[in-house]
Structure 1
Amino acid sequence: MFSSRRSSAVRRLWRNRCVAAGQNEEPPASLKPITHSLFKRLRDDQLELLARAVEAGGAEERIGCVFLPRGEVNCWPQVLTCKLFRWPDLKHPHQLKRLCICECSRRAAEEAGVVCCNPYHFGRLCEPETPPPPYSKLSPSKNQNNIDDFLEHKLTHDHRAIEPSNNTSEIWPDFGVSPYLPREGHWCSVAYWEHRTRVGRLYAVHEPSVGVFCDLPRGNGFCLGQLHVANRHEMVRRTRGKIGGGVLLSRERDGVWVYNRSQHPVFVNSPTLGLPSSRLLSVHKVLPGYSVKVFDYAKSCALQRAAAPPDLSDGPYDPNSVRISFAKGWGPCYSRQFITSCPCWLEILLNHS
């Protein structure tokens, strides 16, 4: 019975490889042995859990971690599964961001000596749109091996789950401020807008993370699908149909992160996303499955002390707010100059009181 169950799960996993990326070709030959080794070392229930996670494509939050004891395979298991089922061009664990829904982010799981290899418990980090300066720790190493070389030569390594440091202290001045964490009450409020009209009430967020979605029935959080408006504009209706799983907002120690759970890009603007010396609007495109730190508490404090407000013509400047537009971009590079021209967008009002 268990042998049949394992065989079924393995067949389903191979059948669904790289479906999210729209690629069904055979994986590189160097990946096959290590992939079989990974499947072999997963318990029956964990293998079935991995198959369910891949088939759900991230639409089911209740599918938990797929635990594998550290050191069981000679690779980073989370990189291997993300490469197989989501991003064939993935090369290194520093390209991934562990999501807040992953239990391995908790100290107890780390001390238990396990690593999660559920590919939908990770987002891919947005890369800078322009090359970082050579002194930046964001610069890629010239001699960095990709995962294919690593697997092919079976290098020995410390295979702990590596989290991206995102250390930009060499770019931003250090004013000696501690990351902001509200002591009580809500840490942010979410407003949903359709063009220039706010729809519904402010949604106060008390938990460390919240999903904002339209038609993800199993999700917890702010459901935009429940907000009804008479005689919606056709463009708004079409855009709402693209929200789907929406975004996952999480308050973490270093700032506020956004993970794009939809099947379409989202566009974000934040006071801390642009260059420190720029006073122009900076809008960043976040592809499906990608994560970005949209607000950095330390950078925010530095900017408010050292820089003048940017030149904005679409309303008052709020140094503690983040704007997110679904499917449609705005700004100097788009036909829509202002976010109020976007059909569906969010305003994240951070609580610093």
Structure 2
Amino acid sequence: MLARSLEARGAEDRTDCVSFPRIELRLGKQRYWPQVLTCKLFRWPDLRHLSQLKRLCICGRCGRSPADSITVCCDPYHFSRLCEPETPPPPYSRLSPSNHWKTIDEPTEHDTARQLRRNEPSNSQNQDWPDSSALPSVTRDEHWCSVAYWEYRTRVGRLYTVCEPSVSIFCDLPRGTGFCLAHLHADGRHEMVRRTRGKIGGGILLSKEGDGVWAYNRSEHPVFASSPTLVRGHARGLTVHKVLPGYSLKVFDYQRAQALQRAMGPELPDGPFDPHSVRISFAKGWGPSYSRQFITSCPCWLEILLNNC
């Protein structure tokens, strides 16, 4: 099973767990948990601690307490690396030793969730890193988010409604299920859009979990994400995070969203925006350090509208 998983390299939507006794392994002077060792050997040579990993919702042991089993899953493609505050490289570097991040001011002229449904993008505006594996129950007749796919300022296709606790959004994923962007056609696509679509590949895995919404980058290129709850400290405007291949980021925090909503009051600091949305751009970043100032200048991006946050 481990060999099959390594050959698939995470391209399959679901793979079996690789079970191993839940004991520490000693190699020389170092001790490793089995899942850390396999992830270190086959995916991330610089991996050191279990706390740097997050179990993905596609793992059959997701949601179980470690004490409930004498074995653990050590399939390296059932885990992701956590995006930590120090992870994003320049230009998303620290402004000062105080660990504040560069912020990105979004345009204020085109924005509410209602406008998105009229084919106009809505404007969206610390982080704890627990491995909250327990997925809340979601009934099939109740959707927790809708996903819109954009090419520059044009929405392509209809809103994709998500009722399952997790969804894959991809362009090329063998035997995958979910929102396949390759099926969406548009007339007269820009050459940059075609090149960027070729980089989406396995795309992202989006999951609703106990503490918020997580995005796992399954592609071979970085993705960029912003949401109101990703703002660092008391910074004004939006913060964009770079999520490298194989990494996960909590793109929306339910508790922090409630606190921000209470603190915001009736006055919105940057004009109208949807406080319950997430924006993710494939391969291309945006902001002051890039030639693209706004996400509407990115060739391929998603807007995730959260429901019942």
Pair in the same fold by TM > 0.5: yes
Q: 2:129 aligns with which of 141, 146, 166?
A: 166
Deviation at 1:306? Answer: 1.0
What are the within-5 Å matches in structure 2 for residues 235-246 of structure 1? 235-246=192-203
Q: Within 1, Cα distance between the matches of 2:269 and 2:202?
A: 32
Report which structure shows greater RCO (CA 8 Å, sep ≥6). Answer: 2
Q: Which ranges of structure 1 fall in alignment gaps of 5 or more residues?
A: 1-48, 135-163, 168-178
Q: Partner of 1:8 in structure 2?
A: none
Q: Partner of 1:147 in structure 2?
A: none
1:90 and 2:50 correspond: no
Where 1:294 maps in the other structure, the secondary structure is strand
Structure 1 runs (4+) greater than 4 angstroms displaced: 130-134, 179-184
Q: Is the 8 A contact 2:138 2:164 kept in 1?
A: no
Where 2:200 maps in the other structure, the secondary structure is coil
| Bigger mean CA offset, 100-109 vs 269-278 | 100-109
Q: Which ranges of structure 2 fall in alignment gaps of 5 or more residues?
A: 27-31, 87-93, 100-126
Q: Within 1, Cα distance between the matches of 2:154 and 2:273?
A: 18
Q: Partner of 2:308 in structure 1?
A: 352
Deviation at 1:217? Answer: 2.9
Distance 1:60 1:276, change over 3 A: same
Q: Within 1, Cα distance between the matches of 2:233 and 2:40?
A: 34
Q: Partner of 1:144 in structure 2?
A: none
Percent identity of equivalent pairs: 68
Q: Within 2, Cα distance between the matches of 1:279 and 1:289?
A: 29
Higher helix residue share = 1
Deviation at 1:309? Answer: 3.8
**Structure 1 vs Structure 2 CA RMSD:** 2.5
Q: Partner of 1:116 in structure 2?
A: 73
Deviation at 1:191? Answer: 0.3
Distance 1:182 1:301, change over 3 A: farther
Q: Partner of 2:17 in structure 1?
A: 65
Matching residue's letter, 2:291: S
Matching residue's letter, 1:327: A
Where 1:301 maps in the other structure, the secondary structure is helix
Q: 2:212 aligns with which of 250, 255, 266?
A: 255
Q: Within 2, Cα distance between the matches of 1:119 and 1:180?
A: 24
Deviation at 1:133? Answer: 7.3
Q: Is the 8 A contact 1:281 1:311 kept in 2?
A: no
Q: Within 1, Cα distance between the matches of 2:148 and 2:82?
A: 25
Q: Partner of 2:252 in structure 1?
A: 295
Distance 1:310 1:282, change over 3 A: farther
Q: Is the 8 A contact 2:136 2:209 kept in 1?
A: no
Matching residue's letter, 2:201: G
Q: Is the 8 A contact 2:138 2:163 kept in 1?
A: no
Q: Within 1, Cα distance between the matches of 2:64 and 2:39?
A: 23
Q: Partner of 1:329 in structure 2?
A: 285
Q: Is the 8 A contact 2:11 2:174 kept in 1?
A: no
Q: Within 2, Cα distance between the matches of 1:73 and 1:66?
A: 16
- TM-score, structure 1 as length reference: 0.69
Q: Is the 8 A contact 1:278 1:310 kept in 2?
A: no
Matching residue's letter, 1:293: K
What are the within-5 Å matches in structure 2 for residues 69-218 of structure 1? 69-71=21-23, 73-74=25-26, 75-107=32-64, 111-129=68-86, 130=94, 166=129, 185-218=142-175
- TM-score, structure 2 as length reference: 0.79
Distance 1:302 1:71, change over 3 A: same
Q: Is the 8 A contact 1:65 1:103 kept in 2?
A: yes
Distance 1:120 1:110, change over 3 A: farther
Count, aligned residues = 262
Q: Within 1, Cα distance between the matches of 2:308 and 2:228?
A: 15
Q: Is the 8 A contact 1:181 1:253 kept in 2?
A: no
Matching residue's letter, 1:299: R
Instruction: Please tell me whether Structure 1 or Structure 2 has the larger radius of gyration of its CA atoms.
Output: 1
| Bigger mean CA offset, 73-82 vs 243-252 | 73-82
Distance 1:110 1:218, change over 3 A: farther
Q: Is the 8 A contact 2:214 2:248 kept in 1?
A: yes
After superposition, give the CA deviation of every residue in 1:232-281 in whole Å (9 maximum; x if it has no partner): 10000000000000000000000000000000000000100112412222
Q: Within 1, Cα distance between the matches of 2:56 and 2:39?
A: 13
Q: Within 1, Cα distance between the matches of 2:128 and 2:20?
A: 23
Deviation at 1:109? Answer: 7.8
